Amino acid sequence: MNEVYGQESGNVVVVTEQNFQHVMVEESQRRLVVMDFWAEWCAPCKALMPILEKLAAEYQGQFLLAKVNADEQPNIVAQFGVRSLPTVALIVNGQPVDAFMGAEPESAIRERLAKYLPKPWDSLLDQAGALQAEGKLDEALPLLREAYTLSEGETAIAFALADVYVTLNRAEDAEAILDKMTMTEQTEPEYAALKSRLTLLHQAAESPEIQDLQRKRDADPDNLELAYELAVQYSQINRHADALDTLLGILRKDKTFKDGEARKTFLDIVNSLGKGDPTAVKYQRQLFTLLY
């Protein structure tokens, strides 16, 4: 790697007394600093350095690799109390937050870095938050859904996603998120609040018109006109899964019902949910299986 002594070169810097303050204070407030104490005579140092350089290049500026030649910078070594080489210290906001001695394997170093580096979904959450502040929940939803997937269901993101689903009157989708939560997560106050909102949402969704249509459909299950009218009512209050389920039942009996209107309504609902929406994906597959 092409380096200029004492100056930053890409994601790596050689630390001297002249730039030590800048690296320790200013740079560590901007991003994680990984300070590597090494020496020419140290064999483990030479095994570790390529790993750190590789990671610095791979993470593309998410952290700064700061190299300290222990033989040339005894004052810095003394300030850190380094007693053996290699020693690596992780610096955040001017303070060491983690450290290790010896040449750890790459996998262990990655685990350490992961604790202090921005998560892949952080930017998605920032964008979603900005859109929510503007009232653009439909645009925030796919970003939150992607963050939820990337984070493998991190609790705070799960609650944020469920909250948007409830606000958009998408009770089934909110319930799907809450149903996956652990017993510990279910003790959180956000869980109880969302469950209460879902109860109110269900009560509001059972309008007299829908209840009447449900009774008529139950009494006359082969009446596709009634079923279609009920599906439309479901879609208008964002009960998308109920609407798609009802339309799928119609299409199983008559693939061309109302000159293709049932199929068109089905696809309109799926398209309105957006690309990658779990409900949309689920019912797209079922329609494809039915038709082909």
In the DSSP assignment, the letter for residue 192 is: H
Block residue for tokens 């398209």: 271
Which residue type does 15 have? V
Sorted by where each begins, the domain ranges of the chain are: 8-114, 122-201, 208-291
**Residue 129 in tokens:** 């938050």
Structure tokens at 244: 């798609």
Percent of the chain residues topping a pLDDT of 90: 74
Q: Tell me what the pLDDT averaged over the chain comes to.
A: 90
**226-241 confidence digits (pLDDT tens):** 999 999 988 888 888 8
List the catalytic residues.
42, 45
pLDDT score, position 5: 34
- Residue of higher predicted confidence among 241 and 42: 42
pLDDT over 70 (residue 114) = yes
pLDDT at 1 over 50: no
* Residue range 208-291, CATH number: 1.25.40.10
Q: Cβ(227)–Cβ(215) under 8 Å? A: no
Burial 261-285 (b: 16+ CB within 10 A, else e): ebbebbeebbeebeeebebbeebbe
pLDDT of residue 108: 95
pLDDT computed for residue 147 by the predictor: 95
Q: How many helices, marked H, and strands, marked E, lie in the chain?
A: 15, 6
Collapsing DSSP to helix, strand or coil, 16 comes out as coil
Quick one: pLDDT at residue 57?
Answer: 92
Tokens of 16: 């001297």
Q: How far apart are CA 288 and CA 267, in angstroms?
A: 11
Indicate if the pLDDT at residue 133 is higher than 50. yes
pLDDT tens per residue, range 164-223: 999 998 888 999 999 999 999 999 999 999 999 998 887 777 778 888 999 999 999 999
Q: Tokens 């092409």 sit at which residue? A: 2
The radius of gyration computed from the CA coordinates of the chain, to the nearest angstrom, equals 29
Distance CA 180, CA 3 (A): 50
Contacts 24+ apart (CB under 8 A), 166-169: 166/194, 166/197, 166/198, 166/201, 167/137, 168/137, 168/138, 168/141, 168/238, 169/201, 169/205, 169/237, 169/238, 169/239
CATH number of the domain at 8-114, out of 3.40.50.970, 3.40.30.10, 1.20.1740.10, 3.40.50.2000?
Answer: 3.40.30.10
CATH classification code of 122-201: 1.25.40.10
Distance CA 164, CA 169 (A): 9
Q: Above 60 in pLDDT, residue 82?
A: yes
Domains 122-201 and 208-291 share a fold: yes
